Structure 1
Amino acid sequence: MDNITATRVFECLASPVRLDVFKLLVKQGPAGLVAGEIASLLNLPATNLSFHLKNLTQAGLLSVEQEGRYLRYRADIPLMLELINFLTHECCAGHPELCLDFRATSNCSSEQDKEAGN
């Protein structure tokens, strides 16, 4: 990942609505959700949601697949993990073992670290 891609992702997620949508779809994993389900779960009007889904898709944070007359959205989990890696790659001057104390005090559990490949 480069600075331009990371900046694009952060700019897109700077909207509270888009951040909520992305977090919801991350929670759903590979199954994703159709637009109507997203709107219902987040109590958003469909027209408002469609604007945000378009932005998230253009930023590469979501993929979309046609299912009959519905659109299913999925979070791009590999992109999210790539962003985390990009942000932490040079943590503690390239000595990640020095960061163990920080990991212990963070909200990320060791199980989440294992699932993310860290």
Structure 2
Amino acid sequence: MNDFLLIFRRDANFDAQLTPAQMQEVTKPWQDWMGSLAAQNKLADSGNRLATDGKVVKPGSIITDGPYVEVKESIGGYIVIRASSLEEAAELSKDCPILATGGNVEVRQILPMQR
């Protein structure tokens, strides 16, 4: 088994558009989907949501605000799953609730650092 990072991307303003009731409504499918992954012993790390603001550090000790305002899509969170291949990890991602709200999932294998 290998570990894969699932990176969730969607409209940068999506959460800001939701009422508290709507936020609860979109949270349930996430709990169900992640519970299903856990039941299959495929969930390696439940991940986290990410704040919408941040900083970008560039060469030369330059620090700017980020993510960039002109970017319409932003990373909203991530989880780590276990799968036998990139293809299996992508298949497991097909049921991700972010797809129902216009978002997408980037699937990347996590490679151990060489020592």
Q: TM-score, normalised by structure 1?
A: 0.27
Structure 1 or 2: larger strand share? 2
Higher relative contact order (CA 8 A, sep 6+): 2
What TM-score, normalized by structure 2, do the two folds share? 0.28
Higher helix share: 1
